[in-house]
Chain A
Amino acid sequence: LAKTTQPISMDSYEGQEVNITCSHNNIATNDYITWYQQFPSQGPRFIIQGYKTKVTNEVASLFIPADRKSSTLSLPRVSLSDTAVYYCLVVSGGYNKLIFGAGTRLAVHP
């Protein structure tokens, strides 16, 4: 399984765009990139999944360069309620063994 590396923490302000980058240098051909969000005392919640290029949903966008060795989760116009821990996972397609790293602790300030 590909190991992921992401910043331990980030700070932002309400209304700003936040970009969290994750590196996964040894990603395999059939691996997918997935991001989760976790609030205190709750289980993680799926945000977005991608394989290559760009994926967008109502919550976030995921940018994946051609070499797929990194990915960037983009949160547009964050609010205080976006304060949470964000996890980047690399998951083998067809296997679905979900290994979480330490995540990035995002703090959004007024």
Chain B
Amino acid sequence: SQTIHQWPATLVQPVGSPLSLECTVEGTSNPNLYWYRQAAGRGLQLLFYSVGIGQISSEVPQNLSASRPQDRQFILSSKKLLLSDSGFYLCAWSAPGHTMNTEAFFGQGTRLTVV
């Protein structure tokens, strides 16, 4: 069966510090991978979307970057965090596009507080 791992669960970082959030998927090949951010009481904002290794689409201009060094590994990074980067970060995967299956599976999320 497929599983998704996302860590850490919570993180408190000072302004200006770097960030690295990692997400890995098991039990599937060539998944679509996503990073979302959710501010308190708001909907999910798609940050990055990847259909394969090294193929990253950035959805909004921001202080963050993403990389996909391996097929089932997706990393969210920042060189210098801003207060506005605080939020609930979610990684997700879905089957490759040709399957016509729109079901996505989400990790447990990382609650990031920038202080």
Contact = CB atoms under 8 A, between A and B. Distances in A.
B74 interface: no
B95 A96 contact: yes
A13 interface: no
Contact of A43 (B32, B46, B102, B108): B108
Contacts of B105: 46
Interface in B41-70: 42-46, 49, 57
A95 B101 CA distance: 10
A32 B103 CA distance: 11
Contact of B43 (A41, A93, A94, A100): A100
Interface residues of A, number: 25
Contacts of A41: 88, 109, 111
With most chain A CB atoms within 10 A of its CB, the pick from B90, B104, B105, B109 is: B104
Given A100-B44, A100-B46, A102-B43, A42 B108 contact: yes
Given A32-B100, A43-B109, 11 more contacts: A36-B104, A41-B109, A43-B106, A46-B102, A46-B103, A87-B44, A98-B102, A98-B104, A99-B46, A100-B36, A101-B43
Interface of B: 32, 34, 36, 42-46, 49, 57, 88, 90, 92, 94-98, 100-109, 111
- 10 nearest CB pairs, A to B: A43-B106, A100-B44, A91-B102, A46-B103, A102-B43, A34-B102, A96-B97, A94-B97, A43-B90, A93-B100
